[in-house]
Amino acid sequence: MLRSKEKFVELCKGLKLPLNGEACCSNEMLVKHIYDKYFESRITEVDVPPWLDSSHNLAKSLYITTNQTRFIKPSDEDVWIFGYGSLIWRPDFPFIDRKRGYIRGYKRLFYQNSIDHRGTQEKPGRVVTLVPTASYNSYVYGMAYRISAEHRDEVLAHLDHREKNGYDRCDVQFYEYPEQSGNEFSITMYIATPDNTSYAGNIWQIPKIAQQIFTAAGPSGPNREYLFSLANAMRALFPGEDDRHLYTLEAEVKKLISDHEPQLLEKALKQEILNIIKTGNVDGDVRETVRDVEQLCKECTQPGWREDLLAKELHCMRELAEVIPAEKSTSSPSESIKSSVLLK
């Protein structure tokens, strides 16, 4: 309970809440008022991912042939880089040409932890990796980027730093899409060593990977955004081509969002509000309580706010399985994988 009716009235005025009589002097009623006014709509709002945000124009950018502002003539000293994860829709280096295509003899899997882009050290996210397979007919679709000789050294230095956690370059054969006879060439990609500390292939079940993505976010944004952007980009660039691992995982995460996220976020937010009220009850400073509620509102507009609250709520429950049982997966580790070589 608030210490006095006067403090309650002052708080309601500060937060522009309706004065609803003595019944609202209870913490439970006050939490409900604050949640209903400031947070309920935030949960039901759908955050627009960059893929669907017209200001980013990603759909159009997937088909541009260069991001250079001036013409740079191709040369034999140019290098081609293969991108199969976020580089498909967000290359962060200059290129003079880009082609759709695939490499053979690999699988793309969410078997790599991300602690610096789509997760944190405490709460890693998941990103795609490549693992070699026994079948030469196993395709991984992606984008080939031509880096001019002028920018080659700086781009490779940038990628060396980006993939610095045990990654080495290797060359593979790239095939253009749609297939055309003779349209193939050597391309460079980055491969991690088998003792890569971020390897996560030991947890391969789709439901468990989905749960990890569901609650992860990092400096580059929510983990789910990475998953959904990759799936949407693949559909746009390679219509009709199936990537069962990617699309099954996408469906699983979307199911977690629709089935569990609203209830978990409501519970987490109400607990945050209650903690703020209890602190205000102790020190009696209504202005500080108002500021804390406003700060919480601000935090709920920042990228990753959902994942932060979900992770906190589920951590309080100790086991994610108490709320989201991981059904027995029909998937199994690929028997055709030769080794644990990874590509971030």
> Which residue numbers are catalytic?
163
Question: Cα–Cα distance between 324 and 265 in angstroms, integer?
Answer: 14
**Class of residue 282 by CB neighbours under 10 A (exposed 0-12, middle 13-18, buried 19+):** exposed
Cα 35 → chain centroid = 27
Phi-psi region for residue 284, left (φ > 0), alpha (ψ -120 to 50) or beta?
left
3 state SS of 102:
strand
In this structure, are strands 97-104 and 167-176 parallel, antiparallel, or unpaired?
antiparallel
For residue 245, give the amino acid letter: H
Cα(142)–Cα(87) distance, rounded to whole angstroms? 9
Yes or no: say if 130 and 171 are a contact pair by the CB < 8 Å rule: no
Q: Terminus-to-terminus CA distance in the chain, angstroms?
A: 52
d(CA 105, CA 170): 14
Contact 299, 305 (CB under 8 A): yes
Per the CB < 8 A criterion, the answer to whether 168 and 96 are in contact is: no
98 - beta bridge partners?
Answer: 145
Q: Which residue has the tokens 């669907």?
A: 52
